[in-house]
Amino acid sequence: MAGNYVLNMYEKLLKWPFGRQIFSAYSARRAPYFRTIKPLVTDVRPNHCSVLIRKRRSVENHIGTVHVIAIANGLEMAMGFMAEASIPKHLRWIPKGMQLDYTAKAGSDITCTADVEPEAWVPGDLTVRVEAKDDQGIVVVKGTITLWISEKPAKK
């Protein structure tokens, strides 16, 4: 998508040593609540994003697994980057709701993904599929994030 600032920055930084880490750290600084999970954005392209959360003490719960709120944070980050990398220029988005099912214990690093069909970018509710998998590929959290898509106001 020509002219998309998220895709342009990601692709530019991928050429640098530690480009994914730089992109992820910069992105987490712009939205400070994402810093709590120390995310690594591993893939951004139109209609898809993947974010890695490493299992470490600061994201664990009382039983030593990755806390579901940390996973929800990673899923929201993946959704946000996917949306910014995908939405047509004449539209805007805002999150409206999140529905998550906890399907297994998250005992390892977690990969959070967000995906949507390209033709879904029209005004109204848009349901984004989100999923978190452990390092064995087992789905530990799955669900949806609903976005409200609307036309950008005309510039005066």
Q: What is the pTM of this model?
A: 0.93
| 136 within some domain | yes
CA distances from 32 to 35, 57, 75, 86 (A): 5, 19, 15, 22
For the chain, what is the domain count? 1
Reported as a single tens digit per residue, the pLDDT across 58-83 is 999 999 999 999 999 999 999 999 99
- Backbone CA torsion sign across 141, 32, 149, 82: negative
Q: Could you list the residue range(s) of the whole structural domain that residue 58 is in? A: 5-151
| 133 vs 28 pLDDT, higher one | 133
| 133 within some domain | yes
| 156 within some domain | no
In this prediction, residue 155 carries a pLDDT of: 82
Predicted confidence band of residue 3 (pLDDT cuts 50, 70, 90):
low
| Closest among 10, 6, 77, 65 to 37, alpha carbons compared | 77
CATH number of the CATH domain containing 13: 3.10.129.10
Reported as a single tens digit per residue, the pLDDT across 84-121 is 999 999 999 999 999 999 999 999 999 999 999 999 99
Give every CB contact of residue 156 below 8 A, 6+ residues apart in sequence.
Answer: none
- Region 127-148: mean pLDDT is 98
Instruction: Compute the half-sphere exposure of residue 71: CA atoms within 13 Å on the CB side of its CA.
Output: 32
